[in-house]
Structure 1
Amino acid sequence: MRASTTEVVRTYRALFDRFPDIRDEVQEVLVVVRFVAGSGQGAGSLALLIATFLVAEEGLIRSDDSRFDTVGRPCEC
């Protein structure tokens, strides 16, 4: 789910109001890919929204942290 500009402004305004000296420290720069894995064959149709966070170093993927929701069902992959 994508947040609207209004929601983003509200969230950050509340954060900065509560912690006016807040500062960020960059730990990693990630490449984020959102995609839908889909299939119409097999046991049933599949449309699975996936977000993958990749760490790349020297042109190679060093780590892959993927997140998805199977709507409460365990993944049978």
Structure 2
Amino acid sequence: MKTMGFAAAMLIAGTSAAAGERSDAASVVRAMFDAFNRHDAAAMVAAYAPHAELLSPDFCAPRRGREDVRRTYQALFDEAPDIVDTVDEMVVQGDRVAVLFHSRGTAGGQPFDVPIAAFITVSDGLIVRDRSVFQPSPGACLP
């Protein structure tokens, strides 16, 4: 499946941060995953800053802004109506969150289970950068 990487969220892992910082960024990322699993494209858009950047190995170029966030996630929900993300691990360092998760579902009648690492940066309660890392499908490059 060519589009599995967007679901996710990114960040840079590292040492522990103050409890307030950890809670804030982690809460934003958890809310994003909750919205994803509800297939709530509007809530996904609301989780991202107007100038947010999405990066994924199956994108030909970075995606920027809320309209790209909307079309990215809506395409996933349309392509895989049963898609769900399960967070395996989350590491928070200040405004950065690293998430290891699995994206599972069915697309085109074929089941998939894609492990994804996401590196997410949060600023002022919104996601400003979301970089997914995973093995893309052969020939994948979505404009």
TM-score normalised by the chain length of structure 2: 0.29
Partners of 2:139 and 2:109 lie apart in 1 by 15
Q: Which has the higher contact order (CA 8 A, sep 6+)?
A: 2
Where structure 1 has 5 or more consecutive residues not aligned to the other structure, the ranges are 1-27
Q: CA RMSD in A?
A: 2.5
| Count of residue pairs brought into register by the alignment | 49
Q: Show the counterpart of 1:22.
A: none
Instruction: From the superposition, tell whether residues 65 and 41 of structure 1 become closer, same or farther in structure 2 (CA, over 3 Å).
Output: closer
Q: Show the counterpart of 2:98.
A: 32
Instruction: From the superposition, tell whether residues 74 and 43 of structure 1 become closer, same or farther in structure 2 (CA, over 3 Å).
Output: farther
Q: Show the counterpart of 2:118.
A: 52
Partners of 2:135 and 2:109 lie apart in 1 by 19
- Higher gyration radius (CA): 1
Partners of 2:110 and 2:141 lie apart in 1 by 12
Q: Percent identity?
A: 27
Q: Show the counterpart of 2:132.
A: 66
Partners of 2:109 and 2:140 lie apart in 1 by 13
TM-score normalised by the chain length of structure 1: 0.50
1:21-71 Cα deviation digits (max 9, x unpaired): xxxxxxx8520111111114533110000111001111110110111114x
Q: Which moved more, 1:41-50 or 1:54-63?
A: 41-50
Instruction: From the superposition, tell whether residues 58 and 32 of structure 1 become closer, same or farther in structure 2 (CA, over 3 Å).
Output: same
Partners of 2:116 and 2:132 lie apart in 1 by 7
Shift of 1:73: 2.4
Where structure 2 has 5 or more consecutive residues not aligned to the other structure, the ranges are 1-93
Q: Show the counterpart of 1:5.
A: none
